[in-house]
Structure 1
Amino acid sequence: MEKVMLWGLLILGSVLLQVSLRKLPFKEWLFVYLLTSYFSIAIGSIIVEENMLTYPIKLLNKHFDSSLLFEYLLFPVVCLFFYQTTYRSTTFNTLLQGGLYTTSLTIIEVTLEKYTDLIKYNTWTWLHTLLSVFVLMLFIRAIVKLICKRNKADIRNEKL
């Protein structure tokens, strides 16, 4: 049953990625996706190497201890949707949406940990997930916004 769930998540994540990258500005969306993948892979590898959590059942990655499906596809897609939905939001609305996205992901992870063999907490807890995902999503958003603002300023200065 778990393998079917993983295949379903792979298909869902692939479709959502295609949908999210159809909008403009494409380069900015792609940068958010790749930056999120980079950080989630680095952090996820450390967490798994420290044996804080394990992924007993894997899909397409028998040689890796971490969850490539989550770190390469699912979390970056969620972070991309977060970035897109908060693109013109106020700070308060960004924090609120970040809380909603994070809470949703945490509830899904806790449910999967409790009722499936897809993830097992060792020293990790739902609070670790809640805080780390929230901070990482806000960090990615802040970095990309800063880079885009700097890029626009550079373009204006070149025109002068």
Structure 2
Amino acid sequence: MGKESIILASSWIIASLMLLFFVPENRIRHAWLIFLFKQLMTWILGLLVVEYDLIEYPVEIFKYANKTSFTFEYFVYPVICVVFNLHYPGKKTLLKQFIYYLYYCTAITVIEIFIEKYTNLIKYIHWSWYLTWITLYITFFASRKFYVWFFKL
């Protein structure tokens, strides 16, 4: 088993454990909505990024079905978005809320940089780390606004 397979399997396990331990039982409906909304965004954006040759995913789970990273685009990022939204510091100051966004977007971007540099899971063609950070911020922001609107929080 190569390092790419280990990373993919670990990502599935860690993301599943995040759902198990960080989603309260009384907010499973909320988690589903956030998860599906984030999947919708990553599906569209992921396909655009791959089709315009901005990013390439040399190691894929479903090579013939989709050129995006199924693990990250359809499972890991949506799970992280669920945790992000369910534990969002909505009653804190705007500065603390911005730091919360900064923390999540930066942590994911740093991990992606290492994955891009040291594995074949992702390859930047016409892409850069700051574009990852910006798209993460926008999708987290959009999912937060949708979540608050939908449940009238």
Q: TM-score higher than 0.5 here?
A: yes
Counterpart code for 2:11: L
Structure 2: 5+ residue runs without aligned partners?
A: none
Overall identity of the aligned pairs, in % = 26
Counterpart code for 1:29: A
> Where do residues 1-160 of structure 1 align in structure 2 (5 Å cutoff)?
1-59=3-61, 61-63=62-64, 64-86=66-88, 88-90=90-92, 91-149=94-152
Separation in 1, partners of 2:21, 2:124: 32
Separation in 1, partners of 2:131, 2:43: 16
CA contact (8 A) 1:112 1:118 kept: yes
What CA RMSD, in Å, does the superposition of the two structures yield over aligned residues? Answer: 1.5
Counterpart code for 1:86: Y
TM-score under structure 1 normalisation? 0.86
Per-residue deviation at 1:87? 5.2
Counterpart code for 2:63: K
Per-residue deviation at 1:130? 0.5
The 4+ residue runs of structure 1 with deviation greater than 4 A are none
Separation in 2, partners of 1:83, 1:138: 10
Alignment size in residue pairs = 149
CA contact (8 A) 2:89 2:96 kept: no
Per-residue deviation at 1:141? 0.3
Per-residue deviation at 1:11? 1.7
Q: In terms of Rg, which structure is larger?
A: 1
TM-score under structure 2 normalisation? 0.90
Separation in 2, partners of 1:21, 1:93: 22
Structure 1: 5+ residue runs without aligned partners?
A: 153-160
Separation in 2, partners of 1:14, 1:33: 13
Separation in 2, partners of 1:87, 1:32: 16
